[in-house]
Amino acid sequence: MTIPVSAADWIVINTELILVGTAMIVLLLDAFNRRISDRISPWITLVGVVGGLVSLGFLWGQEYTGFAGMLVIDSFSVLVKMAILFGTGLAVLLSVDYLRREELAQGEYYGLLLLSTVGMLLLTSSANLIMIFLSLEMLSIALYVLTGYARMRPRSQEAGMKYFLLGSFSAAILVYGVALIYGALGTVDLAGVAEALTAPGILSNPVLLAGAGLVLVGLGFKVAAVPFQMWTPDVYEGAPSPVTAFMSVSTKAAAFAALTRVLVFAFSDLSGVWMAVIWAIAALTMIFGNLVAIAQNNIKRMLAYSSIAHAGYILVAVASANQLGIQSIPFYLIAYTFMNIGAWAVVTVITRKGEEGVGLSDYTGLFWRNPLLAVSMGLFMFSLAGIPPTAGFTAKIYLFMAAVNANLIGLLIVAVVTTIISAYFYLRVTVIMFMHRPSEVSAVHVPIAAYVAIIIAVVATLWLFLFPNSTQAFTEAVWRMGL
Amino acid sequence: MNKELLLTAGIHLLVAIVILGFILFVVMYMIWGLRRIMGFMQVRIGPNRLGWQGLLQTPADALKLLQKEDVIPKGADRWLFTIAPIIVFVPAYMVYVVMPFGDGLIAKDLNIGILYVSAITSIAVIGIVIAGWASNNKWSLLGAFRAAAQLVAYEVPMILALCVPVIFAGSLRMGGIIEAQEGGWFTNWFIFRGYGIPALAFLIYMAAGLAEVNHIPFDIMEAESELVAGFNVEYSGMKFALFFLEEFAAAFTICAIAVTLFFGGWHAPFPFLGENLTGIAKMAVSLFWFLAKTAVFVFVLMWIRATWPRVRVDQLMNFGWKVMIPMGLFILLAAGTVVTLGWVKL
Amino acid sequence: MIAELVIFIILGIVAVSSAFAVILSKNPVYAVLFLVINFFALAMLYLVLSAQFVAFIQILVYAGAIMVLFLFVVMLLNLTGAIESLQDKLPAQRWLAPALGMVLLVEIAVVFLSGFFAQVPEASELPEGFGTSAPVGMLLFSRYVLPFEVTSAVLLIAMVGSIVLAKRRP
């Protein structure tokens, strides 16, 4: 018997294969020679990530379906995969010196990071509910471990445990939903689901509705949408900072890709039902994330709530479910990747060994201690708040336009108001950095790799504002894709 | 109501009773054999008074056990303490459903026979662990811990080794595996074919099997010199008898499965010793060969028991995880390779 | 057909009540044992569905191996006391959780009763050898080869992860 894997199948998973191969090299190297592995595994990882990006470049503009429709390569998935890989690459740059500072083991860290990335990439192209579940598990299990990676630090342990328990619970809910959908429609293929939904009378099938609802809950947990967000602050705070940077952007990107694919493409005929739900979730998420973020004095928790709020904004695009909305999702994800990882990079650099120094007061007068760092952080804060001249502004404009086109005026008002609210706590950080003089001026030591990461993030944040057209070709192609 | 249904049920019941009787008989004489053989090997006599050559000794012992007081220790978990021996014995008995005693002498030739065997036997561990925990006794709890660690460690290589003949035969069915070794001569048995891969699998299987039935040299879970009697130290009377029964029934099972998978099952070693027969004669001859081969392995087990020392806990775990499992994976890969590439005639 | 229904109902009752017993048992060892019973009932349900291979893999992997490790850990930790002390941290959730759970249960019950049975398709003839190892293996290595391989990666992650979290470092 031969295993029927066609050429298209290999093309569809080639990015994933490159990264899995890199992960194997890193893991084996660590097993055989820890000394060498400690020195070079981050660079091997980076090479793998860059290789993945190159392979995505080759896939650009092409459409493939592999493994009997289980995986799909289209512009949407390629763009989101790029966002994920940018996130991974920057996280690796942050990790190099962080792991040394915290005296954590190196080899397995990069192996798990890469495998988690592979899970995200798979999730992005999954067009089958089984694959969605499996790749979700793949990325989550690696992240549970990475969250608890600093196992000598109780906060990290606690975060890992919480994430694990709630994450497995949400995975169970997701599987139950998948089972119900299968029971109602007899298929787990998203294309098959879309087709089955055209049958008369099926839309009011309660089993289908229950299944779709449960799947929504499972994915909502991963994107940290209210009311499934309660794990976010604790996990983001307790996890090692580079891991938080990674999971706050890449997981979100992958989970949103899956959510979009499930809702907009597979369940589009059911949009009458889920539209209201997504509307409510998006509004709640934006309001809750931004309001609670105001009260935070811990920068990691603040960024965690900010990340919840941003999930709400992206949900607006999902809710609009029109051409512009779908196009704006990858753009928003890419912009968010750079600005959020940039912010976390600064946090990583400022914190001291053992994740000390995460209070807002630790940023007092940062401008006098390290002007470049302060300016970058200020830029990221502007971008997160959606203030020009940053990528965050452009992304939000796209998003609001999508909402206008979809006639979601109520949601648009919520989004605008919460954006204004959010300016308060983002700008507070800027004020603290620039307006307050520090009691003592001690220079902040910034490792080279982290500098590189921050500069890349700054450049990209500005670039996406100045030349949004450079990505227009990308985003325009998104709508043309089929399932 | 339904005559046919009743008839089928009756036949099933009869088969079950016959098998139970067979187990009781075999275990009794395995115990007798063990005592005589160990006596012989250790230059003493063993039971030889009751009946001819002491043949009635074990039935008498069994009767004695039945009459004994059934002690449930204070502080024990009564309920679990009582069901533990049952949980241990029932799987050992259920395995005999697929036992290929002879050509046509198999209660139910399940399509997934060998998987059934490994699945069912794996349940006995739970009974052992419960027994150790419910007894409320340090020694038995330690025995239970050792049992859990050991049985999980050795189940994996055992299943890996079982996969080899399955790959060669292309079937999980007991009958199918035996048919694949047909052909008259003993050279058709798996053990003598496939570049020694099945032979290696057999060694892994037997070692893991010894551990599974907590036989010397892997009997650390009852290790009488350190743990008194391990998980069953508090048991007496009928419940203890059930543990005893399970241990020997499982040992017989291990040998019988080894014969089935690697030594041609019910086939005679030479074509002129069992071919060209039909009907009852064929059944009887095949039964004879099956039991004879199994008896050889049972004897080897007793031989090992009489002569080998017991390994230490850490040695046991190291051997299981670091030697047996890699070896099992290796032979699985090797078997898959030679079969896929067509290097063996199947 | 009637016999099948009776068996199904019995197994369903066993499965559900043992699942309840898992969460209601005060003693974690009992909880684990009820979980074993639950897994058995599920395996038997698979058998009723003619899925022999899955049924016995369920017994082998869950009842046989995983639950033994569960028992091992639960006995080793001796959690009985620890659980008592955990119970009253959030007194409200003791009542809130079952209440909300009941809401969900009623919801699902309504869902199922309102239209599911009407739409259950007729049982179709099973293909030859359904549920045995050969067709399952064929499916796993052809149509579902990708999920199968991804599962292996997931297991690798779990293995590496547990070693990372548990290994003693010099």
For the stretch A66-83, pLDDT in tens is 888 889 888 888 889 999
- Is C147–A131 a contact, with Cβ atoms under 8 angstroms apart? yes
Whether A132 and chain C come into contact, CB under 8 Å, resolves to no
How many helices (H) and strands (E) chain A has is answered by 21, 2
Portion 195-234 of A in contact with C at CB < 8 A: 204-207, 209-210
Residue-level pLDDT at C74: 83
Q: Residue range B179-208: average pLDDT? A: 82
pTM for the whole structure? 0.88
Q: Give the CA radius of gyration of chain C.
A: 21
Q: How far is CA B141 from the centre of its chain?
A: 24
Residue-level pLDDT at C130: 77
Joined tokens for residue B87: 């949980």
pLDDT per residue over B9-21, tens digit each?
A: 888 888 888 888 8
3-state secondary structure A162-185: HHHHHHHHHHHHHHHHHHHHHHHH
Whether A1 and chain C come into contact, CB under 8 Å, resolves to yes
Of C121, C151, C161, the CB nearest to A142: C161
Enumerate the residues of chain B whose CB falls inside 8 A of the CB of residue C63. 122-123, 126
- Is C164–A112 a contact, with Cβ atoms under 8 angstroms apart? yes
Q: Residue range A321-330: average pLDDT? A: 84
- Is C69–B148 a contact, with Cβ atoms under 8 angstroms apart? yes
Same domain, B130 and B186: yes
Same domain, B315 and B200: yes
Residue B48 clears pLDDT 50, i.e. is over it: yes
CB pairs under 8 A between A and C: 89
Same domain, B62 and B97: no
Which residues neighbour B301 within 8 Å (Cβ) at sequence distance 6 or greater?
A: B210, B215, B251, B254, B255
Please tell me the number of Cα atoms within 13 Å of A136 on its side-chain side.
Answer: 31
Joined tokens for residue A397: 């404009």
Same domain, B302 and B288: yes
A18 within domain boundaries? yes
Of B110, B119, B148, the CB nearest to C72: B148
Whether A94 and chain C come into contact, CB under 8 Å, resolves to no
The DSSP symbol for C125 reads: P
Domain residue limits at B209: 73-340
Distance from CA of A9 to the nearest CA of C (A): 9
Whether C107 and chain A come into contact, CB under 8 Å, resolves to yes
Choice between B345 and B108, residue whose per-residue pLDDT is larger: B108
**What integer best gives the mean pLDDT of chain A?**
88
Same domain, B122 and B254: yes
Please tell me the number of Cα atoms within 13 Å of A451 on its side-chain side.
Answer: 8
A2 within domain boundaries? no
Q: Residue range A7-27: average pLDDT? A: 90
**What integer best gives the mean pLDDT of chain B?**
83
Flag residues of chain C having pLDDT under 50: none
- Is C157–A138 a contact, with Cβ atoms under 8 angstroms apart? yes
Whether C121 and chain A come into contact, CB under 8 Å, resolves to yes
Cα four-point dihedral sign B230, B235, B236, B237: negative
Residue-level pLDDT at B246: 86
| Cβ(A344)–Cβ(A242) below 8 Å | yes
B307 within domain boundaries? yes
Whether C47 and chain B come into contact, CB under 8 Å, resolves to no
Indicate the number of domains in chain A: 1
Distances, alpha carbon A323 to alpha carbons A44, A260, A282, A395, in Å:
39, 12, 19, 15
Indicate the number of domains in chain B: 2
Q: Which pLDDT band holds residue A138 (cuts at 50, 70, 90)? A: very high
- Is A184–C119 a contact, with Cβ atoms under 8 angstroms apart? yes
Same domain, B62 and B80: no
C90 by Cβ neighbours in 10 Å (0-12 / 13-18 / 19+) ranks as exposed
Distance from CA of C147 to the nearest CA of A (A): 6
Query: Which residue of chain A has the CA closest to C166?
Result: A151
Cα four-point dihedral sign A4, A7, A11, A16: positive
Assign a CATH topology to domain C1-85: Four Helix Bundle (Hemerythrin (Met), subunit A) (1.20.120)
Residue-level pLDDT at A483: 35
Same domain, B158 and B210: yes
Residue B281 clears pLDDT 90, i.e. is over it: no
What phi and psi values does residue B43 have, to the nearest 5 degrees?
55, 50
| Cβ(A82)–Cβ(A56) below 8 Å | yes
pLDDT per residue over B215-265, tens digit each?
A: 777 777 766 667 767 777 777 778 888 888 888 888 889 999 998 888 887
Q: Residue range A301-326: average pLDDT? A: 89
Same domain, B158 and B229: yes
Of C52, C56, C71, the CB nearest to B126: C71
With a pLDDT cut of 90, the percent of chain A lying above it is 44
Distance from CA of A123 to the nearest CA of C (A): 11
| Cβ(C157)–Cβ(A142) below 8 Å | yes
Distance from CA of C23 to the nearest CA of A (A): 15
- Is B125–C133 a contact, with Cβ atoms under 8 angstroms apart? no
Whether C12 and chain A come into contact, CB under 8 Å, resolves to no
**What integer best gives the mean pLDDT of chain C?**
82
Residue-level pLDDT at B305: 84
B103 within domain boundaries? yes
Q: Which chains touch B (3 or more CB pairs under 8 A)?
A: C
- Is C59–B119 a contact, with Cβ atoms under 8 angstroms apart? yes
- Is C163–A184 a contact, with Cβ atoms under 8 angstroms apart? no
**For residues B52 and B48, what is the distance between their CA atoms, to the nearest angstrom?**
7
**For residues A416 and A121, what is the distance between their CA atoms, to the nearest angstrom?**
32
Angle value at C-alpha B279, between B274 and B281, nearest 5 degrees: 45
Same domain, B26 and B92: no
Joined tokens for residue A378: 């200020």
> Quick one: which of A67, A62, A198 has its CA closest to A128?
A67
B346 within domain boundaries? no
Residue B123 clears pLDDT 60, i.e. is over it: yes
CB count, 10 Å around CB of C76? 11
| Cβ(C161)–Cβ(A21) below 8 Å | no
Whether C112 and chain A come into contact, CB under 8 Å, resolves to yes
Domain residue limits at A374: 7-480
Same domain, B192 and B52: no
**For residues A25 and A29, what is the distance between their CA atoms, to the nearest angstrom?**
6
Same domain, B38 and B87: no
Same domain, B171 and B23: no
> Quick one: which of A301, A294, A338 has its CA closest to A427?
A294
Q: Residue range B141-165: average pLDDT? A: 86
Residue-level pLDDT at A482: 41
**For residues B31 and B24, what is the distance between their CA atoms, to the nearest angstrom?**
11
For chain C, the structural domain boundaries read 1-85, 132-170
A142 within domain boundaries? yes
CB count, 10 Å around CB of C114? 13
> Quick one: which of A349, A364, A363, A339 has its CA closest to A462?
A339
pLDDT per residue over A341-372, tens digit each?
A: 999 999 988 888 777 778 888 888 888 888 88
**For residues C150 and C143, what is the distance between their CA atoms, to the nearest angstrom?**
13
Whether C65 and chain B come into contact, CB under 8 Å, resolves to yes
pLDDT per residue over A435-475, tens digit each?
A: 888 777 777 888 888 889 999 999 998 888 887 776 665 66
**For residues A385 and C96, what is the distance between their CA atoms, to the nearest angstrom?**
37
**For residues A22 and A28, what is the distance between their CA atoms, to the nearest angstrom?**
10
